[in-house]
């Protein structure tokens, strides 16, 4: 097996489509090298090696040594330098690179190959002793941290003391001699903490670094990141070893990160940051505030330090050419790292850039309009889940704002919450159901869990490409970064800004679209659904086969759903109507009635209420089908709890409180989920379903008479297990319809169907379809009953099940395709065999989950039904499933 793949010097052994093998970074370095872009030569050790490394107890096979030696020889040949050469040494970087980027999660070592001899060679060859000793100093510090895992605080402290002793404030004030002394001190620290001297042999250094990068795949923070982002542990990481290029060799050297388009808003403009005379991680770490790439961006921000376009015009022009080349080659927005070494441009990385949902939409639509990609590709490019970010409120521009300061608009959206100053507190308070804003001087990968728990993130330092900004955009959290006028005392849990104090627990609001930071909460408004969003949705609708409906039971929800493009109601849960304060007494009276006469008296009072509910929904959904499900939950859910409630019901029903309580006790069930609910209510008390059916048809006739357009009711019977149940219930519904139609002298088309939410119903679907005119898969209950896992108790143990890989995802969120899915598939087949044109849909929570929607497409359902806010997500997911 080949484990090492070389690139650079005009050739490459790897290709861009080998991301699984070479990792994203390695595959793209190979690709850039092969299209002739300036890439420092190097080689990639494949992800297969990572897997094997762990299989063999964290050891490397002998064959790898030969391959790595050949890789080093390749770099030596292209650069004309020798690894370990005391006169002019080859230095390399060692970086991780998984299949998908995991920003800041794993380890990097730079300047590898420096030792007490080669540092002198570097000084002589570069003619810059300060640069050489600074590189050695950085190398020891990084190596001690990443490879030897020593306490990095001690090294930082030594650096601070070195500056303080000499009265300096900046690192750059340290002279070559100062740095030489610091190197001695660092070596002392290594020996003291590690018990051995700092490794002088460049090959030992290399193997140490390679091992550390593979080792970082199993670090705690990488594990957390993988869990949050559904990245399997067995993917492994690749290791990239590459000739060093230096952005810190004076004023014609620089290093930067850039996007070929604005990753926040999506505008077509080069977008990025760079630092003159700086090395690699300085930009991302947010230690120095970076300079803008273009003059326009600098002027817009009102910033002083020259942009790259102004400071290094020739290299900038070359870079702009590379950007265009990369976009046409990759046909996507690219996120780039580059270094300029004494006027020469080097590309260190390219990858598809992470972007906000807003930018993803704009870029996809723009690129399709530019002819760079097709409309189908544009549809495929946008992550349906990410639309969530756009479907939620932003700050009301009319609302009063108490602006404390302004930072960078690092990730859009607005959020209010309690100020917290560390990740653990953020996580704890969020778990208690509070909204929190995490406020940090700058974030690091250790803060990931807190960022995830927070509603928004605010940092005092760092640019648009700082860790906080990149991670927040990926998570869809609003973020304001680099709010420089804030000073944060994390220990005292307070931030000071503009002469004011914000303490832990005080409410603050951030607007990640403008960068504003405000005291208190600020009102929000609904999102704009036209523009790029509307365009992409239209394109999605052109390719989508599945219809998308909504689960909604109020006219307001129905209106939201319709605005979001719902093509009907897939589930109107009528019990939700029973909870209304104005009718709960009548509902309780109905439930607690001793006999049919008592029940009918209460039902007569509910009928007009239900009728007007349905009429309002039919009006909003005019011309579209509305699936109304008859009463489902166990009756005890509606029972009174408080004395006053009992008294009220007793007096309304004209019976004694004691008698009422006795009746309530009789209704107690040991396992209500499997108890007297669903059609079992209709079987035992047909008058309930009769009333509901009558209300539906009366409302339908009312609306038809009023508007001239008849609604399309689909009456749905819940929790059916047998054909006989459905036969009985359908007879009740048909009887009611007949009665209403003859009374009113008008007929309305309607369907009667059933939910498939019990395994027996799925198995006997062929028979049930003789009566049922449609099926709607109630995958919440079907999951519960197939897995034998209670919907309401699953949270206690399902987390462990997902962690241990028993289920890939929470089966109540994403359909268990192998198990529950098989029942769905089978029921669809058997139902269709009986009734060729049977209408099939899904109305469990899975109807809004993209992976489950892909499955629904595969088995050929007619529609999915999701909560109103998920309707656009479902439309896009359905389109992607059809592509």
Could you tell me which residues are annotated as the binding site? 573, 629, 757, 778-781
Contact 570, 550 (CB under 8 A): yes
How many positions of this chain bind ligand PEP (CB under 6 A)? 10
Sorted by sequence, the CB contacts under 8 Å of residue 18 that are 6+ apart come out as 5, 27, 30
From the CB of 754, what's the least distance to Mg ion, in Å? 11
242 vs 779 by CB, closer to ligand PEP = 779
714 binding ligand PEP? (CB under 6 A): no
Least distance in Å: CB of 34 to ligand PEP?
A: 51
Bridge partners of 418, per DSSP, are: 436, 507
Binding mask 768-787 for Mg ion (x = CB under 5 A): ----------x--x------
Q: Does 845 bind Mg ion (CB under 5 A)?
A: no
Q: Are 321 and 337 in contact (CB under 8 A)?
A: no
Contacted by 26, from ligand PEP, Mg ion, none: CB < 5 to 8 Å by type: none
Binding site per annotation, positions for substrate: 573, 629, 757, 778-781
Residue 552 tokens read as 């909604």
Binding mask 209-248 for ligand PEP (x = CB under 6 A): ----------------------------------------
Cβ at position 780, least distance to ligand PEP in Å = 3
Shorter beta-carbon distance to Mg ion: residue 408 or 864: 864
> What are the beta bridge partners of residue 9?
none
150 contacts which partner out of Mg ion, ligand PEP, none, CB within 5 to 8 A by kind?
none
**722 binds, options Mg ion, ligand PEP, none, Cβ within 5 to 8 A by partner type:** none
Which residue in 429, 452, 467, 846 is the catalytic one?
467
The nearer residue to ligand PEP, 332 or 632, going by C-beta atoms, is: 632
26, 578, 823 from 614: Cα distances, Å = 59, 13, 32
Residue 182 or 558: the one with the smaller Cβ distance to ligand PEP is 558
- What ranges make up the beta strands (E) of 88-131? 89-90, 92-98, 108-112
Note whether 287 and 114 are within 8 A (CB): no
Closest by alpha carbon to 288, among 325, 263, 255, 336? 255
Q: Let me know: does 450 contact 506? Beta carbons within 8 Å.
A: no
Compare residues 78 and 827 and give the one whose CB is closer to Mg ion. 827
Rounded to the nearest whole angstrom, what is the least distance from the CB of residue 275 to ligand PEP in the complex? 55
Interface with Mg ion (CB under 5 A), residue total 3
CB of 757 to Mg ion, least distance (A): 5
Minimum separation from the CB atom of position 575 to ligand PEP (A): 8
Buried b (16+ CB within 10 A) or exposed e, 497-531: beeeebebeebbbbbbbbbbbbbeebebeeeeeee
> Which of Mg ion, ligand PEP, none binds 128 (CB below 5-8 Å, type-dependent)?
none
Give the one entry of ligand PEP, Mg ion, none that residue 215 binds, where binding means its C-beta sits below a cut-off of 5 to 8 angstroms depending on kind. none
Residue 137 near which of ligand PEP, Mg ion, none (CB within 5-8 Å, type-dependent): none
Per-residue tokens: 80: 């004309």
Among the residues of 745-819, which ranges form H helices? 759-763, 765-768, 779-787, 795-803
* Alpha helical stretches, state H, 274-382: 281-285, 295-301, 308-311, 313-330, 357-370, 375-381
532 binds, among ligand PEP, Mg ion, none (CB under 5 to 8 A by kind): none
Distance CA 204, CA 190 (A): 15
Q: Give the integer Cα–Cα distance in Å for 845 and 810.
A: 12
At 445 the three-state DSSP class reads: helix
C-beta of residue 368 within 8 angstroms of C-beta of residue 362: no
Q: How far apart are CA 158 and CA 137, in angstroms?
A: 11
Minimum separation from the CB atom of position 865 to Mg ion (A): 13
Q: Please, what is the minimum distance in Å from the beta carbon of residue 766 to Mg ion?
A: 22
Produce one character per residue of 205-228: b if its CB has 16 or more CB atoms within 10 Å, e if not: bbbbbbbbbbbbbeeebbebbbee
Decide if 843 is catalytic: yes
815 counts as binding ligand PEP under rule CB under 6 A: no
Report the nearest approach of Mg ion to the CB of residue 424 (Å).
Answer: 38
Cα separation, 399 vs 516, in Å, equals: 14
Catalytic residue (one of 50, 479, 679, 843): 843
Residues 769-798 that bind ligand PEP (CB under 6 A): 778-781
Q: 255 vs 783, which CB is nearer to Mg ion? A: 783
Q: Is 549 helix (H, G, I), strand (E, B) or coil?
A: strand
The closest of 341, 344, 338 to 277, measured between CA atoms, is 341
One symbol per residue from 631 to 670: x for binding ligand PEP (CB under 6 A), - otherwise; what is it?
Answer: -x--------------------------------------
- Residue count of the chain, please give it: 883
Choose the one of ligand PEP, Mg ion, none that binds residue 571, judging by a C-beta under 5 to 8 angstroms depending on kind: ligand PEP
| Chain residue whose CB lies nearest Mg ion | 781
**Cβ distance to ligand PEP smaller for residue 71 or 778:** 778
Q: Which two three-digit tokens encode residue 771?
A: 């009566």
If one asks whether residue 844 binds ligand PEP (CB under 6 A), the answer comes out as: yes
Q: Which is nearer to ligand PEP, 103 or 718 (CB)?
A: 718
261 contact, one of ligand PEP, Mg ion, none, CB 5-8 Å limit per kind: none
Residues pairing with 548 in the sheet: 864
What span, in angstroms and rounded, lies between the C-alpha atoms of 690 and 128? Answer: 92
> By C-beta, is 202 or 781 nearer to ligand PEP?
781
Q: Is 467 a catalytic residue?
A: yes
Subset of residues 741 to 770 that bind Mg ion, contact rule: CB under 5 A: 757
Are 571 and 627 a contacting pair, CB within 8 Å?
A: yes
CB of 671 vs ligand PEP, minimal distance in Å = 15
358 interface partner picked from ligand PEP, Mg ion, none, CB below 5 to 8 A per type: none
Binding mask 553-592 for ligand PEP (x = CB under 6 A): ------------------x-x-------------------
Rounded distance between C-alpha atoms, residue 757 and residue 759, angstroms: 7
Please give the structure tokens belonging to residue 610. Answer: 């239900």
Q: Using the rule CB under 5 A, is 553 a contact of Mg ion?
A: no
**Dist CA 294 CA 278 (whole Å):** 18
Nearest approach, Cβ of 148 to ligand PEP (angstroms)?
A: 54
Let me know: does 43 contact 71? Beta carbons within 8 Å: yes
Residues contacting residue 153 through CB under 8 Å, at least 6 positions apart = none
Which residues line the annotated binding site for Mg(2+)? 757, 781
* Binding-site partner at residue 753 among ligand PEP, Mg ion, none, CB < 5 to 8 Å by type: none
C-alpha closest to that of 602 among 671, 643, 654, 541: 654
Scan residues 604-633 and list those touching ligand PEP (CB under 6 A): 632
Is the Cβ of residue 512 or residue 778 nearer to Mg ion in the bound state?
778
Question: For 631, which DSSP code?
Answer: P
Name the helix (H) or strand (E) containing 55: helix 47-55
When the beta carbons of 639 and 761 are compared against ligand PEP, the nearer one is: 761
Q: Do the Cβ atoms of 437 and 420 come closer than 8 Å?
A: yes
- Should residue 757 be labelled a site residue for ligand PEP when binding is judged by CB under 6 A? yes
Q: Is residue 843 at the binding interface for ligand PEP, with CB under 6 A as the rule? A: yes
Please state, in angstroms and rounded to a whole number, the distance separating the CA atoms of residues 348 and 240: 11
Pairing of strands 237-243, 254-259: unpaired
Binding stretches for Mg ion (CB under 5 A): 757, 778, 781
Catalytic positions are 467, 843
Q: Which residues bind ligand PEP (CB under 6 A)?
A: 571, 573, 632, 757, 778-781, 843-844
């Amino acid at each position: 097996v080949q484990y090492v793949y070389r690139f650079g010097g005009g050739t490459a052994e790897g290709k861009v489509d080998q991301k699984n093998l070479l990792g994203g970074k390695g595959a793209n370095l190979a690709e850039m090298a092969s299209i002739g872009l300036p890439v420092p030569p190097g080689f990639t050790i494949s992800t297969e090696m990572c897997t094997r490394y762990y299989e063999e107890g964290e050891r490397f096979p002998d064959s790898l040594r030969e391959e790595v030696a050949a890789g080093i020889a390749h770099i030596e040949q292209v650069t004309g330098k020798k690894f370990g050469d005391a006169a002019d040494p080859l230095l390399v970087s060692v970086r991780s690179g998984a299949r998908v980027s995991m920003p800041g999660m794993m380890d990097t070592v730079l300047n590898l190959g420096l030792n007490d001899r080669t540092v002198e060679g570097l000084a002589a060859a570069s003619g810059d002793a300060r640069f050489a000793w600074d590189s050695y100093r950085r190398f020891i510090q990084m190596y001690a941290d990443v490879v030897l895992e020593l306490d990095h605080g001690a090294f930082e402290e030594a650096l601070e003391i070195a500056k303080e002793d000499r009265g300096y404030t900046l690192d750059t004030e340290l002279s070559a001699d100062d740095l030489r002394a610091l190197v001695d001190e660092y070596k002392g620290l290594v020996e003291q903490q590690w018990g051995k001297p700092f490794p002088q042999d460049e090959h030992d250094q290399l193997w140490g670094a390679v091992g550390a990068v593979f080792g970082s795949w199993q670090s705690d923070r990488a594990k957390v990141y993988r869990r949050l982002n559904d990245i399997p542990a067995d993917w492994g990481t690749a290791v990239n070893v590459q000739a060093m290029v230096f952005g810190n060799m004076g004023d014609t050297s620089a290093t930067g990160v850039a996007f070929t388009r604005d990753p926040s808003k999506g505008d077509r403009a080069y977008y990025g940051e760079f630092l003159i005379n700086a090395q690699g991680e300085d930009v991302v770490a947010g230690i120095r505030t970076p300079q803008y790439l273009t003059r326009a961006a600098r002027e817009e921000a009102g910033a002083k330090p020259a942009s790259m376009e102004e400071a290094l015009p020739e290299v900038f022009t070359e870079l702009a050419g590379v950007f265009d080349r990369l976009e046409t080659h990759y046909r996507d927005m690219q996120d780039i790292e580059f270094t300029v070494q004494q006027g020469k441009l080097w590309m260190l990385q390219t990858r598809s850039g992470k972007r906000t949902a807003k930018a993803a939409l704009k870029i996809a639509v723009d690129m399709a309009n530019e002819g760079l990609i097709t409309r189908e590709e544009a549809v495929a490019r946008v992550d349906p889940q990410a639309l969530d970010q756009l479907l939620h409120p932003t700050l009301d521009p009319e609302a009063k704002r108490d602006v404390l300061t302004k930072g960078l608009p690092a990730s859009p959206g607005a959020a209010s919450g309690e100020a917290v100053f560390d990740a653990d507190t953020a996580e704890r308070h969020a778990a208690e159901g509070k909204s929190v804003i995490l406020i940090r001087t700058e974030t690091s990968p250790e803060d990931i869990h807190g960022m995830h728990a927070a509603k928004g993130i605010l940092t005092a330092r760092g640019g648009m490409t700082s860790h906080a900004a990149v991670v927040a955009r990926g998570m869809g959290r609003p973020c304001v970064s680099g709010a420089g006028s804030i000073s944060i005392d994390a220990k005292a849990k307070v931030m000071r800004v503009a002469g004011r104090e914000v303490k832990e627990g005080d409410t603050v609001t951030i607007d990640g679209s403008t960068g504003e930071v405000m005291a208190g909460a600020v009102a929000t408004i609904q999102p704009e659904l036209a523009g790029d969003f509307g365009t992409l949705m239209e394109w999605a609708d052109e390719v989508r086969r599945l219809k998308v409906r909504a689960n909604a039971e109020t006219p307001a929800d129905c209106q939201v759903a319709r605005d979001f493009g719902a093509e009907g109601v897939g589930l109107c849960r009528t019990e939700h109507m029973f909870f209304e304060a104005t009718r709960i007494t009548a509902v309780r009276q109905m439930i607690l009635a001793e006999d049919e006469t008592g029940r009918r008296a209460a039902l007569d009072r509910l009928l007009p209420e239900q009728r007007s509910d349905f009429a309002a929904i039919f009006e909003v959904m005019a011309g579209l089908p509305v699936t109304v499900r008859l009463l489902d939950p166990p009756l005890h859910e509606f029972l009174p709890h408080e004395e006053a409630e009992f008294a009220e019901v007793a007096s309304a029903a004209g019976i004694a409180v004691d008698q009422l309580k006795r009746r309530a006790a009789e209704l107690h069930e040991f396992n209500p989920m499997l108890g007297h609910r669903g059609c079992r209510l209709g079987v035992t008390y047909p008058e309930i379903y009769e009333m509901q059916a009558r209300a539906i048809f009366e409302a339908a006739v009312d609306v038809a008479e009023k508007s001239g357009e008849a609604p399309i009711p689909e009456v749905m019977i819940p929790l059916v297990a047998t054909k006989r149940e459905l036969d009985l219930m359908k007879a009740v519904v048909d009887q009611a319809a007949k009665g209403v139609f003859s009374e009113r002298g008008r007929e309305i088309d309607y369907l009667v169907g059933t939910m498939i939410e019990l395994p027996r119903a799925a198995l006997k679907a062929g028979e049930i379809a003789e009566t049922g005119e449609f099926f709607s898969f109630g995958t919440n209950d079907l999951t519960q009953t197939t897995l034998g896992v209670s919907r309401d108790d699953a949270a206690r143990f399902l987390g462990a099940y997902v962690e241990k890989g028993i289920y890939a995802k929470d089966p109540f969120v994403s359909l268990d395709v192998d198990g529950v899915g098989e029942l769905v598939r089978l029921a669809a087949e058997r139902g269709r065999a009986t009734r060729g044109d049977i209408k099939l849909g899904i109305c469990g929570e899975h109807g809004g989950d993209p992976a489950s929607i892909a499955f629904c497409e595969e088995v050929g359902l007619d529609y999915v039904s999701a909560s109103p806010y998920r309707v656009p997500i479902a439309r896009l997911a359905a389109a992607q499933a059809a592509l």
